[in-house]
Amino acid sequence: MTDRKNPPALCGIQHVPVFPPTESNSAKGNTLYTFYNDEYEVFRLDFRFPNGGGLFEKEVAMAVTANFLSLSGNNTKSGSSIIEELDGFGSYIQRNADYYASYITLYGSNRYFKESVSCLMDALATVTFPASETEVYLNRCENSLKTRLEKTSFLASRKFKEVTFGLHHSMGWFAFPGDYNKLTTDSIASFYKNHYQQVNLINSGGIQQKDSEWLLKQTDSVFKPVAVNAENATPVENPVLEHFIQKDGAVQASICIGKNIYINRLHKDYTALMLANVILGGYFGSRLMKNIREDKGLTYGVHSSFSSYRNFLSFSIRTDVKNDSRDLAVAEILKEIELLCSKPVSDDELALASNYVLGQFQRSFDGVFNWADKFRSLLDTGLSYDYYFNFINNVKKVTPTEILHVCNTYFKTETLYKVVCGNNKIS
């Protein structure tokens, strides 16, 4: 008779293989990082522009715009013919501008590697941001913004950024209607010229050594290492902690609670704080999920998380709840935090959160495309592989006492911003 009542014996995660990329440099000093898996018939190539992120923009939305329009072509070769050619090879392009760096990522079959890369490099080298393409894109952004401004979660999110960083900080500003249309061909071209000279290439998948050498030569014909300084403005935090945004007709309210925490992932408190966050709202069995979703049925999901930056963390708890229950939800969220600050977590609960985190860690290193993502994260936040080598031990060392200590140091509810977007009007 099978014993169904008791769980099978478990093996803890002891070690996760973490392999840094092989690194090669071109004659001009451009760097190529490679993660091979020769069984793959496909490749992924990240063009990382270390000076192209939101940190570097002086006009709102410039980083994202320059990044997207980098494939908009010139007067002899249109943006659409570039995309047509890349599509013809069966490739896919992803573009995104994060806070520190911007990326253009090419996905394709090995058999069209050289053709698709040449096409893309040429496009990046010769782009002039023609007005025809620029205007259509910016109009679409304006329209998309109008739709997003109808969403309570979007409004709450923007307000949260504004109160934690201030509207004049590159992390705190965002587009208002009309801001996209303020950008011009000239201003976009100028940003691109100054910020897209330097590239790091990250190549993952089935591409062979000989193609790597060819790739480096191609890179030298277009790019060169030129660093750009970014102004590191200090965040201007709003003195008022509670903010409400009225949204007529909303049946749900969006809640955003949190703050900036001025430590980074290398700080001695970080691992304990990370685990405290997981216990609070970082996984399905978290305190917040158990209370607000499972116990009270107020929401489909409630999560807390950190966004990690070089010198600070942005901590936030986010959820969409029944509009009528928004005050209750806020009160319960704060109650859960206060509980974490007053009573140490049990060894069992800590073990659950730790094992969950180690499982996530293991999954995040499954396959070379994931390795490329983890490497990007190190480059963006200025960390070395030591962070990953030490991760498992750091997690295993954390105690309930430390969790209690970091909650009291960083999570006190009277220091948190509370932003709610909902409907105050009785219909």
Partner 1 sequence: MIHFSKFELKNGLRVIFHHDTATPLLVLNLLYNVGARDETPDKTGFAHLFEHLMFGGSVNIPEFDSPLQLAGGENNAFTNNDITNYYMTLPAENAETAFWLESDRMLSLDFSQRSLDVQKGVVIEEFKQRYLNQPYGDVWLKMRPLVFQKHPYSWATIGKEISHIENASLDDVKDFFFRFYNPNNAILCIAGNITEAKAKELCEKWFGNIEKGQRNTNIYPQEPPQTEKRTLHVNSKVPQDAIYMAFHMSKRTDKAFYAFDLISDILSRGESSRFYKNLVMDKQLFTELDAYVTSDLDPGLFVIQGKLTDKCSFEMAEEAIWQELEQLKNHAVSDIELSKVKNKAETYLLFSQTSVLNKAMALCMAENMGDANRVNTEMEKYASVSPSDIANVANTTFQAEKSNILYYHAEK
**In whole angstroms, how close is the CB of 13 to partner 1 at the nearest point?**
5
Q: Is 358 in the site for partner 1 (CB under 8 A)?
A: yes
Give CA angle at 90 (64, 208), nearest 5°: 90
> Is the separation of the CB atoms in 105 and 93 below 8 Å?
yes
Q: Is 19 in the site for partner 1 (CB under 8 A)?
A: no
- Which of these ranges, 97-105, 145-153, 231-239, 385-393, lies near partner 1 under the rule CB under 8 A? 145-153
Q: Is 230 in the site for partner 1 (CB under 8 A)?
A: no
Q: Which letter does DSSP use for residue 151 in this model?
A: -
Site residues for partner 1, 113-142, by CB under 8 A, read: 133, 136, 139-140
Given candidates 19, 176, 262, 300, which one binds partner 1 under the rule CB under 8 A?
300
Q: Is 425 in the site for partner 1 (CB under 8 A)?
A: no
Q: For residues 149 and 266, which CB has a smaller minimum distance to partner 1 in the complex?
A: 149
Measured CA to CA, the distance from residue 341 to residue 318 in angstroms comes to 20
Residue 301, φ and ψ in degrees, nearest 5: -165, 140
Q: Is 363 in the site for partner 1 (CB under 8 A)?
A: yes
Q: Which letter does DSSP use for residue 181 in this model?
A: G
Site residues for partner 1, 392-421, by CB under 8 A, read: none
CB proximity list for 189: less than 8 A, separation 6 or greater: 128, 129
Residue 296, φ and ψ in degrees, nearest 5: -100, -10
- The encoded tokens of residue 3 equal 């014993």
Given candidates 25, 94, 118, 144, which one binds partner 1 under the rule CB under 8 A?
144
| Positive/negative CA dihedral, 101, 104, 110, 116 | negative
Site residues for partner 1, 233-252, by CB under 8 A, read: 249-252
Half-sphere exposure of 283 (CA within 13 A, CB side): 17
Q: For residues 67 and 299, which CB has a smaller minimum distance to partner 1 in the complex?
A: 299
Q: Is 305 in the site for partner 1 (CB under 8 A)?
A: no
Residues 25-64 as x/- pattern, contact with partner 1 by CB under 8 A: ------------x-xxxx----------------------
Q: For residues 10 and 227, which CB has a smaller minimum distance to partner 1 in the complex?
A: 10
Return the closest-CA partner of residue 371 out of 202, 257, 235.
202
Q: Is 327 in the site for partner 1 (CB under 8 A)?
A: no
Q: Is 299 in the site for partner 1 (CB under 8 A)?
A: yes
**In whole angstroms, how close is the CB of 82 to partner 1 at the nearest point?**
9
Element (H, E) at 121: helix 113-126
**In whole angstroms, how close is the CB of 384 to partner 1 at the nearest point?**
23
- Report CA dihedral (335, 422, 169, 192) to the nearest 10 degrees: 130
Residue 28, φ and ψ in degrees, nearest 5: -85, -5
Q: For residues 147 and 393, which CB has a smaller minimum distance to partner 1 in the complex?
A: 147
Given candidates 25, 38, 92, 266, which one binds partner 1 under the rule CB under 8 A?
92
**In whole angstroms, how close is the CB of 252 to partner 1 at the nearest point?**
4
> Is the separation of the CB atoms in 201 and 45 below 8 Å?
yes
Given candidates 20, 225, 235, 367, which one binds partner 1 under the rule CB under 8 A?
367
- Which of these ranges, 79-87, 193-201, 334-342, 410-418, lies near partner 1 under the rule CB under 8 A? 79-87
Give CA angle at 80 (79, 82), nearest 5°: 65
| Sheet with strand 200-205: strands edge to edge | 22-25, 31-36, 200-205, 42-49, 102-109, 92-97
Residue 18's DSSP bridge partners are none
Residue 257's DSSP bridge partners are 317, 418
Site residues for partner 1, 259-288, by CB under 8 A, read: 283-285
Q: Is 322 in the site for partner 1 (CB under 8 A)?
A: yes
Q: For residues 116 and 170, which CB has a smaller minimum distance to partner 1 in the complex?
A: 116
Q: How buried is residue 84: exposed, middle or buried, by Cβ count under 10 Å (0-12/13-18/19+)?
A: exposed
Tell me how many helices (H) and strands (E) the chain has: 15, 11
Q: For residues 197 and 362, which CB has a smaller minimum distance to partner 1 in the complex?
A: 362
Q: For residues 2 and 393, which CB has a smaller minimum distance to partner 1 in the complex?
A: 2
Residues 335-354 as x/- pattern, contact with partner 1 by CB under 8 A: ----------------xx--
**In whole angstroms, how close is the CB of 226 to partner 1 at the nearest point?**
30
Q: For residues 94 and 384, which CB has a smaller minimum distance to partner 1 in the complex?
A: 94
Half-sphere exposure of 380 (CA within 13 A, CB side): 21
> Parallel, antiparallel, or unpaired: how do β-strands 102-109 and 92-97 relate?
antiparallel
- Which of these ranges, 86-94, 218-226, 227-235, 237-245, lies near partner 1 under the rule CB under 8 A? 86-94
